[in-house]
Amino acid sequence: MPVPNSIILTWARNILDALGAPPTPANMTIMAGWIVGEHGWNWDGTGNNPMNTTWNMQAPGEHSINSVHVQAYPTAQVGLQATLNTLQQPEYAPLVQALQAGDPNAFWSSDGEKALATWGGSASYPSYLKSVVDSVSGIPSQYLAAGTVATLPSVSVQSVLNDLKAGAQSLADVLGLKQFLTGGNSQDLLIGAAIGILILVLVAEGVENV
């Protein structure tokens, strides 16, 4: 019986945490299996949409990927919030309440199956999903209640720029360049200085390797 990959498991753990549901073996098995049911066993996190929700966050870079308007989100955090927003709709209350109670029997109850049919848009979706969830096994301990909280990766352009600015600031301080960076936007100048120095270092390394 397959073990979901680390990306699927990380998403499953973070969704449970966002819902206030305990990451018990049963809950992790259900949530990881649900993601597998939506994407297959080899999902690599593309689109930051583990549950294939159509919730429109109106985020920059967000876009629809198919005719039913399943969304692709720009970051994991946006995708997690969209997933949370969707699951918190009244029609899915039996599922969320079952997860929060750590009660798999309630999840697969008649009310739960009705909610799953709504989610999947088909009366056969609950039985399909149950077969997928039943095939999940071997949830690693770090994703469970006693383990370390898994953190979703999120790399945005702005975060990279912020890191670069901080690094450039430190580099300018170390090299005593800051006093020469007068006029214009100091942050842009710092970034430019850092990039220039990086290019010089790479060129020097290239010369040494010739």
**Which helix (H) or strand (E) covers residue 71, if one does?**
strand 71-72
Least confident among 7-11, 84-88, 201-205: 201-205
Q: How confident is the model at residue 209 (pLDDT cuts 50, 70, 90)?
A: very low
Q: How confident is the model at residue 195 (pLDDT cuts 50, 70, 90)?
A: low
CA atoms lying within 13 Å on the CB side of residue 195: 10
Least confident among 87-96, 101-110, 184-193: 184-193
Pick the residue with more confidence: 22 or 174?
22
Q: Are 60 and 49 in contact (CB under 8 A)?
A: no
On average, the pLDDT of the chain sits at 82
Q: How many helices and strands, by DSSP H and E, does the chain display?
A: 9, 2
pLDDT digits over 1-56, tens only? 589 999 999 999 999 999 999 999 999 999 999 999 999 999 999 999 999 999 99
Place of tokens 């049963």: 26
Q: How confident is the model at residue 188 (pLDDT cuts 50, 70, 90)?
A: low
Least confident among 1-5, 126-130, 135-139, 170-174: 170-174
HEC readout, 91-128: HHHHHHHHHHHCCHHHHCCHHHHHHHHHHHCCCCHHHH
- pTM of the full structure: 0.72
75 secondary structure, DSSP code: S
Q: Is 72 helix (H, G, I), strand (E, B) or coil?
A: strand
Q: What are residue 72's DSSP bridge partners? A: 63
